[in-house]
Structure 1
Amino acid sequence: MPHTSSQTPPGCSESPVYTPQPYNRRDPNTWDVLYIDQAIPLDPVAKSYMLKDLQHWTRSYLLIPIKAIANIFLAIIMTIKRLLPFQFRAYRLMHQVAAFFLNHFVTPEACYLIIRHIGLGSNIANFLIENGPDPEIERSTLYPKTVHDLADRMAFLEHDLILYNFVWDYHQAQEEHPQWLAAVQERGLCFDSIQPIEVNIDFDKRRWCRILDLESAIELFKVFYSLCLTSDEFARAVLSLQLDENFGLYISNLTGDSRWNHVITNRHPLIPNSPFNAARDLFLHGLLTEYLHRYLELYQASR
C-alpha cells in the first residue's frame, strides 16, 4: 500500500500519527515530550514511526545482549578475514538475506525508516548536484519502495557507492569550475530533487516474529554485512557514516546557513570510528539524514 511522507497509507488500520497521552506534570512521558518538541525538525510521519520504534520492547530488553553477542561475532569475523590470504564477497546473498530478515523479523516501522532513508540519501545527493559546480554529474536513481527492492537493486552497497562517487565527482567539478558558487547564488537554488519519498509497507500484516526494533536489527545485520564484504569494503562502509559532516557542510555552503551544523554528530572522517560502534553510527546517520532533508524542505518553504 503506497505511503508517502505526508499521508497515511490507504486502507491501513493503524494511523502513523503519534498520539500523546494526557500530560502529567509530575510524571512526564519522555516520548510525548520529544514528539511535541520541534527544536530539531523532522518529517512528522517519520518521527511518529521513530518514536514507536524507540518504545518497542525489544529495544528495552534485547538490545544490550544483542549488541554484546554481535560484537563478539564481529570481532571473530574481522580477525579471521584479516588473517586469510584471500578475500571474498557475496553482494547478492547479502541483500537477499537482508530482505528476508527485514520481511520476517523486523517491525514494519523499522522497515519503513530503512527504505525511506535510501530515498532521502538520493534526494540530498541530487539536490547538491543540481545546485553544484556541474549539473551533469551522474544523479542517483536509487529509490526503493519495498523491502524486495532493496535486494533487487542491491541498495545498501549502491547507497555507499553513490556517496563516495558523489564526493569524488563533486570535488573534481569544483576544481574545473572555481566560480560555480557565485553563479548558483545569482540564479538561486533549485529544489526539484527535494520530493516526498514513496514507501510501500503493509502495516496491517504483522507476523508474530516481526519483533525487532531498528537498532537491534542493525546490530545483528552488521555481523552478516561484515561477512559478505571484504575487509576493506566493510571498513569503507563504516567510514561512509562519518561523511554526514561533509554533506552538512556542502549544504551550508549553498544556503549560507551553518547555525544547525552542531546537530551533526557523525563527524571527522579522517579519524575513522570503531566498526564495533557501526550500528549506533548508522542509527544516528538515519536520524541526521531525516533532519537534513527536513531542513531543506523548510528552507524551500521559507523562500
Structure 2
Amino acid sequence: MKNYSEYFETLENNPRDPSHWHALYLDHSIPFNRDAKAAFLYDANSKTRQFLNPVVRILARLAIHVMQVIKIVIPNLINAPKALHWSLYMGMKYFITPQANFLILRHFYLGSEVLRFIKDNVEGAEDIPMNPLKPVSVRAVKDNLFLEHDLNLYNFIINLNKALESRGLKVEKKDRPDFSAISTTPIPFENFRNGWTNFLDLGTAIEIFTPVYQFFLTDNDFWRATNSLQLDEVIGLYAATIMDCPEKLVALNNKHPMIPLPTAGAAFRLLLHGFSTEVLHALLVEAKLQQETSV
C-alpha cells in the first residue's frame, strides 16, 4: 500500500489556500490509526468523491426508493447472498481504490477484535460463541463476509445479554482490562490491485453497493443490515463501561439504536459505522500501550 501518511506529512501548506484534509490529518483530537486516517483522508480528497459522488448518491438513493416500493409487494423476490458477495468482490477488486479496500478490510478485522475485547473483560461471557472475521485479501469477501459481519454483531449482543441476565451480572468497569485481543501492529494485508479501473473512492463505492445489497437480499435481510449500523453506540458503551471513559464516545456517531432510520441513508451511516469502529479501536490501542508502559 502507498504510504499515504508520508503524502500528508510532506505536504506544503499554502496559508492562502490551506487543505481541509491536511488540517484534519495533523489534528490528533480524535484517536485514529495514522495509516488508516491518511488513507481515509487521501480517499476523501479524490476527484470522484468531489464530482462523481453527488451524482451517484442521487441515482443510488432513487434506486433504493424504487426497490423499496417493489419489495413492499414482493418482499422475498430475490435472496442470493452468494451472488451479492461475488458482485461485491468483483467491484472491490477491479473498481475500488487500494486505500478504500484497505479501509474496508480493516473494518472487519478491527470489529472482530473489539467484540473479543468486550468478551474477555465481561464476567459471565466466557462461553459466548465467537466467529472472528479477519480477512487479509479481497478474496475473503466471497465467503459472505458482509452478511456474516452483521450476524456476528447481532448474535454477540443477544448472547452476551442472555448470558449476563441468566447469571445476574452486568458489564462493569475493570481496573486492569485484558487487551490481548487488540493488535497494535500493522495488519498483514495482501497487496491490493491498483489498475487504471481502480478509481472509485470509498464513499462513492458504498453509495453504489447499497442498492446492489438491497437488490440481492430479501427486504427483511436488508432492513436488518441497515439497522445494524445503529449499534455503534451499544458496542461503544460496553467498551467505555469496561474502561470507565464514557466521555470518549463523542466520535461514535451512529446513535439512537431504538429509532430505525430510512434505508436510503444507509450508505452515509455505513461510512460513520466504519469511522466509529476505527475510533473505538484506536482508543483501545492507546489504552493498551499506556498499560504496557505503566508496567
User: Shorter-chain TM-score: what band?
Assistant: over 0.9
Does residue 135 of the first structure (1) align with residue 126 of the second (2)? yes
Alpha-carbon separation, structure 1, partners of 2:227 and 2:118: 21
Q: Using the aligned pairs only, state the percent identity.
A: 33
Alpha-carbon separation, structure 1, partners of 2:37 and 2:21: 11
Asked if structure 2 preserves the Cα contact closer than 8 Å seen for 1:126 and 1:140, the reply is no
Deviations 1:139-167 (A, max 9, x none): 2321111111111x211000000000000
Residue 29 of structure 1 corresponds to 19
Does residue 211 of the first structure (1) align with residue 202 of the second (2)? no
Residue 296 of structure 1 corresponds to 284
Residue 144 of structure 1 corresponds to 135
Alpha-carbon separation, structure 2, partners of 1:40 and 1:264: 11
Structure 1-normalised TM-score? 0.90
Residue 273 of structure 1 corresponds to 261
Change (3 A) 1:70 1:37: same
What is the SS of the residue equivalent to 2:4? coil
Change (3 A) 1:206 1:181: closer
Give the unaligned 5+ runs of structure 1.
1-8
Alpha-carbon separation, structure 1, partners of 2:225 and 2:283: 25
Asked if structure 1 preserves the Cα contact closer than 8 Å seen for 2:5 and 2:34, the reply is yes
Asked if structure 2 preserves the Cα contact closer than 8 Å seen for 1:243 and 1:267, the reply is yes
Asked if structure 2 preserves the Cα contact closer than 8 Å seen for 1:239 and 1:272, the reply is yes
Alpha-carbon separation, structure 1, partners of 2:64 and 2:16: 44
Change (3 A) 1:234 1:86: closer
Change (3 A) 1:45 1:128: same
Change (3 A) 1:33 1:67: same
Aligned residues: 287
Which runs of structure 1 show a deviation greater than 6 angstroms over 4 or more consecutive aligned residues?
Answer: none
Residue 271 of structure 2 corresponds to 283
Asked if structure 1 preserves the Cα contact closer than 8 Å seen for 2:105 and 2:138, the reply is yes
Quote the offset at 1:48 in angstroms. Answer: 1.1
Change (3 A) 1:85 1:48: closer
Asked if structure 2 preserves the Cα contact closer than 8 Å seen for 1:245 and 1:264, the reply is yes
Residue 6 of structure 1 corresponds to none
Structure 2-normalised TM-score? 0.92
Deviations 1:197-235 (A, max 9, x none): 6252425x4221111000100000101100111111101
Quote the offset at 1:64 in angstroms. Answer: 0.6
**1:141-220 alignment, distance < 5 Å:** 141-151=132-142, 153-179=143-169, 181=171, 185=174, 188-195=176-183, 196=185, 198-203=187-192, 205-220=193-208
Alpha-carbon separation, structure 1, partners of 2:253 and 2:133: 25
Alpha-carbon separation, structure 1, partners of 2:75 and 2:260: 25
Residue 42 of structure 1 corresponds to 32
Residue 19 of structure 1 corresponds to 7
Give the unaligned 5+ runs of structure 2.
none
